[in-house]
Amino acid sequence: MPSPLSDDLARRLGSRISDLQSAASISDLIAGDPTRISDTELSIALDADHRLVVAVNHPSTPRDVNGSVDWSRVRRVRIERIEGPTDGE
């Protein structure tokens, strides 16, 4: 069973969600060092040990001429998971 979030981590998660809501597109995000981890997913730092993973959530995913996700046109994301230091082991 996942452990509950600490108060600090919960505040940081709330801040990142606010950032996502106020951004015109995912490309506008600065905080959390957004990093593409797959064609349709980004990882956003919450702290040194935890990352928020979001995925494109459009009915039709915006793509560039090469067929990759055009993150500058992504306006909707879905929260997939929060990854911590023991995830993936």
> Does residue 36 sit within a domain?
yes
SS3 of 42, please?
Answer: strand
Query: Tell me, what's the pLDDT at 11?
Result: 93
> Does residue 56 sit within a domain?
yes
Q: Are 13 and 40 in contact (CB under 8 A)?
A: no
HSE-up (13 A, CA, CB side) for residue 73: 10
Query: Tell me, what's the pLDDT at 27?
Result: 85
Query: Tell me, what's the pLDDT at 14?
Result: 93
Give the total number of structural domains in the chain: 1
> Does residue 40 sit within a domain?
yes
Band of pLDDT at residue 2, cut at 50, 70 and 90: low
> Does residue 78 sit within a domain?
yes
> Does residue 87 sit within a domain?
yes
> Does residue 18 sit within a domain?
no
The predicted-structure confidence for 24-78, as pLDDT tens digits, reads as follows 888 888 888 899 999 999 999 999 999 999 999 999 999 999 999 999 899 999 9
- For residue 85, pLDDT beyond 70: yes
Query: Tell me, what's the pLDDT at 89?
Result: 43
> Does residue 20 sit within a domain?
no
Domain that holds residue 64: 26-89
Measured CA to CA, the distance from residue 58 to residue 60 in angstroms comes to: 5
> Does residue 14 sit within a domain?
no
